[in-house]
Structure 1
Amino acid sequence: MTVDHNNVLTSLERGLAVLSSFDIDRSPVTLSEVARATGLDRSGARRLLHSLVLRGYVRSERGAYALHPRVLEIGNAYLASLALPEIAQPHFAEVSRLLNESVSMAVLDGDEIVFVARVPVGRLMSLTLSVGSRLPAYPTALGRVLLSDRPEDWLDRYLTSTSFKAFTALTMTDRSLLRRELAQIRRQGWAINDQELEVGLLSLAVPIRDASGAIVAAINVSSHTSRFTPAGLVDAGLRPLQLAGERIESALHAERPAGT
């Protein structure tokens, strides 16, 4: 969709920028930090923060600011509008029960994945993941499945503009290697990730396609190297994940046929 910048409400745009400036790993934040993150002057940032406090989306505490639980209403409204997580949950929950491992669903938002459903089993990562959590797409199996379906011109821009950070010694940061990896995932229909996001973490992911054949989400099973080798996770988890994906797609297509 083309954005008509003449119709963009600047105050709303700036308010959303202020909300986006909050880092859940670094909350609360100061007025100076918000101004610096958004590019606003201190007086403009202060006015917007004051408005968000009055609306109940932000709280003020000892000269600093933190998100208020009411901000979840925005994300929950989005999640409530998605039929896919509700359709998918019972199917990939069965995979979790079968393998006794965590299973998640994510969608692509720009160059990040957003978790829209999750069945956790224990704690595999140092990061705390929940519905709404975000991760960069490139070092994750979920992200690579989603990236593999993007058009070549989109991938060209993505590979050119993204800064590829090495999360571990195994993280793939070479752009040409990543492009070849995405082509391989596109051909085989699944992705395996071996400790590229966090040492010890394995992840296997498959796509969820809409009635037109486009990938709209991905589901994965995560495990630890103490439980599986990469090949062992593929042997144990690929077929159950694929069956879950097929059932989710059938239910999704029944609810939203092609062309609707």
Structure 2
Amino acid sequence: MTARVYSRDHVGSLEKGLQVMEILARHPDGLTLSDMALATGLTRSGSRRFLLTLVETGYATQSGRLFTLSPRLLTVARAWLQGATLWSHAEPVMRGVAAALNESCSAAVLSGEDVVYVARVAGRRILSVALNVGTRLPAWCTSMGRVLLSNLSKDELTRFLATATIEKRTAKSMTNRKQLIAEIAKVAQQDFAIVDGELEIGLCSIAVPIRDGSGRIIAAINVSTQSERFSAAEIRQQVLPQLRKAAKAIEDFASF
């Protein structure tokens, strides 16, 4: 494990409070004080202070022993999304991709160990993974995550994978860190990523980068489908060109 180095301006208590919120977000059925202490590594008294502060400020609710996030957090997310002109523009572009392929099209950014969905147009076919704006998924085993990770230097990627939680999601999940480094290097070279069955058996996705004016990858856009719908060759031939065209349209609009 590589120790994290913080600046003098780092506010540790704020980081811990945000960690508590993120953990609550991953447990919509609620967590007890003991659950939160175990998940965060905080003491029970420390966890209690953070949880009760969230309750008092309206970001969480308490029912008996269970703490859950409140809808107030959605207000913050909605305000951010309404101000994100790029994603407002991207949505109709993505809708065109989804309609042409009859599949889901999404965009995401990197946040910690995860990708966070910032825009999504659902296709007609329903997959068992429930995905919406704000959904977080592990970056290492998703197509958009690997595209975003391909923007890191080799040293940055090594540090990322050294601290990331990597565990088998399916029998096909690539969990060997050296193999992941090689796979992400391949993604950087070919400028797209395909992940088949590593997050969920039967779920296949392909992603391409969205770059700013300097060429830096700031987001990724993907199409997710059922493996039985497209072979690897078909997804390259039929989906990749449309994704690249959509990414170019989003990049052309953006004024970075």
TM-score for both structures, normalised by structure 2? 0.89
Q: Which residue is 1:218 aligned to?
A: 220
C-alpha distance in structure 2 between counterparts of 1:28 and 1:220, whole Å: 31
Residue 240 of structure 1 and its aligned partner are, at CA, apart by 0.8
Corresponding letter in the other structure for 2:220 = A
Residue 97 of structure 1 and its aligned partner are, at CA, apart by 0.5
Q: Are 1:103 and 1:118, in contact at CA under 8 Å, matched by a contact in 2?
A: yes
**Structure 1, unaligned stretches of length 5 or more?**
none
C-alpha distance in structure 1 between counterparts of 2:187 and 2:17, whole Å: 39
Residue 40 of structure 1 and its aligned partner are, at CA, apart by 3.5
Q: Which residue is 1:167 aligned to?
A: 169
Residue 26 of structure 1 and its aligned partner are, at CA, apart by 5.3
Q: Are 1:57 and 1:68, in contact at CA under 8 Å, matched by a contact in 2?
A: yes
What pairs up with 1:1-260 in 2 under 5 angstroms? 3-5=6-8, 8=11, 10=13, 12-25=14-27, 27-122=29-124, 124-252=126-254, 255-256=255-256
For the residue of structure 2 that corresponds to 1:116, the secondary structure is strand
For the residue of structure 2 that corresponds to 1:22, the secondary structure is helix
Residue 92 of structure 1 and its aligned partner are, at CA, apart by 1.4
Residue 68 of structure 1 and its aligned partner are, at CA, apart by 0.8
Corresponding letter in the other structure for 1:119 = V
Corresponding letter in the other structure for 2:107 = M
Q: Are 1:53 and 1:60, in contact at CA under 8 Å, matched by a contact in 2?
A: yes
Q: Percent same amino acid at aligned positions?
A: 43
Residue 28 of structure 1 and its aligned partner are, at CA, apart by 1.5
Distance 1:174 1:213, change over 3 A: same
Corresponding letter in the other structure for 1:231 = A
C-alpha distance in structure 1 between counterparts of 2:193 and 2:251, whole Å: 18
Which deviates more from structure 2 when the two are superposed, residues 96-105 or residues 226-235?
Answer: 226-235
Residue 123 of structure 1 and its aligned partner are, at CA, apart by 5.4
Corresponding letter in the other structure for 2:242 = P
C-alpha distance in structure 1 between counterparts of 2:15 and 2:108, whole Å: 26
Residue 188 of structure 1 and its aligned partner are, at CA, apart by 1.5
Q: Deviations over 1:123-170 (max 9, x none)?
A: 543231111111111111111111111112201212333343121222
C-alpha distance in structure 2 between counterparts of 1:177 and 1:27, whole Å: 36
Residue 249 of structure 1 and its aligned partner are, at CA, apart by 0.6
For the residue of structure 2 that corresponds to 1:15, the secondary structure is helix
Q: Are 1:145 and 1:206, in contact at CA under 8 Å, matched by a contact in 2?
A: yes
Q: Are 2:102 and 2:125, in contact at CA under 8 Å, matched by a contact in 1?
A: no
**Structure 2, unaligned stretches of length 5 or more?**
none
Residue 9 of structure 1 and its aligned partner are, at CA, apart by 6.7
Q: Are 2:196 and 2:205, in contact at CA under 8 Å, matched by a contact in 1?
A: yes
Corresponding letter in the other structure for 2:174 = M
Tell me how many residue pairs correspond in the alignment.
252
Q: Are 1:191 and 1:205, in contact at CA under 8 Å, matched by a contact in 2?
A: yes
Corresponding letter in the other structure for 1:193 = V
Residue 221 of structure 1 and its aligned partner are, at CA, apart by 0.6
Distance 1:156 1:50, change over 3 A: closer
